[in-house]
Amino acid sequence: MPWFLTTLKALLSVYYAQMLEYRAEIFFWILSGSLPIILMGVWVQAANSGDFPLSSVEFARYFFAVFIVRQFTNVWVIWEFEREILEGKLSFKLLQPLDPVWHHVARHLAEKVTRFPIAILLTVLFFQLYPQAFWVPRADQFFLGTLGIILSFTLYFLIQYTFALFAFWTERASAIQDLWFLFYIFLSGIVAPLDTFPEAIRDWVLLTPFPYGVYFPAAMFVGLPMPLGQSLVIITVWMILFWRLNRWLWRQGLKQYSGMGA
């Protein structure tokens, strides 16, 4: 265990230094995820002129929370792993006494640390431009929201890494992620809070993994009603299912890996 922690610390240091070299590019990545801010304007105007379960201020807070949550839950492992398979780079990592996934975990965590100060600056700027929406989450809301971010990142990293393992059989594993994203963008709470859905549809959607990538932590931060116990159980079940599928695909994929491009 001490050896693993030392190795992980070294990986985090290396990838953090690498991410600092691309901090300007990361800034543009953050701006590219500004869809929730754009949608916030639409829903705020709609709330001012229609009958919705949330007020205009609540919509503003929710979509800003979504923007922040997405900064720390975005995952791109499928494109990296697919490239490693196609170029044969995975072969070198397989020679190391460490599961290659930890390289991707460390890279993602280092990128999140690099984003943090930029996210703070954007938070200050947002509340300067829209002071009506300013709020400070209660201690329990902040704790549950932070826990939600950790669980959301873990779940979605596991899901996308599982999809990435199909690169052992196809050169376009990322196409699976593209198909998944079509459902994710509408059912995760990015386009609209789940509170605006009809109750029957909302209850069904909450059984899928989609809301737990964005809606769950965002709802925790702003204090929207969310069945906490049920949510934690559903997240755990999906994690177990994807973990078992992930390990099976990994074992089967290694049996036929030929190091393409090596």
Residue where the block lists tokens 């007020």: 55
With a pLDDT cut of 90, the percent of the chain lying above it is 46
Rounded distance between C-alpha atoms, residue 215 and residue 97, angstroms? 38
Residues 155 and 235: beta-carbon distance below 8 Å: yes
153-208: per-residue pLDDT in tens? 999 999 999 999 999 998 888 999 999 999 999 999 999 899 889 888 999 999 99
Q: Is the pLDDT of residue 6 over 90?
A: no
Place 261 in a pLDDT band, splitting at 50, 70 and 90.
very low
- pLDDT at residue 4 is higher than 80: no
User: pLDDT band at 142, cuts 50/70/90?
Assistant: very high
Question: For tokens 């300013």, what's the residue?
Answer: 134
**Distance between CA atoms of 125 and 106, rounded to whole angstroms?**
29
pLDDT digits (tens, 9 = 90+) for 52-68: 788 888 899 999 999 99
Q: What is the CA radius of gyration of the chain?
A: 20
Express each pLDDT in 8-33 by its tens digit. 778 778 777 777 766 666 676 777 67
Among 89, 79, 132, smallest CA distance to 259 is for 89
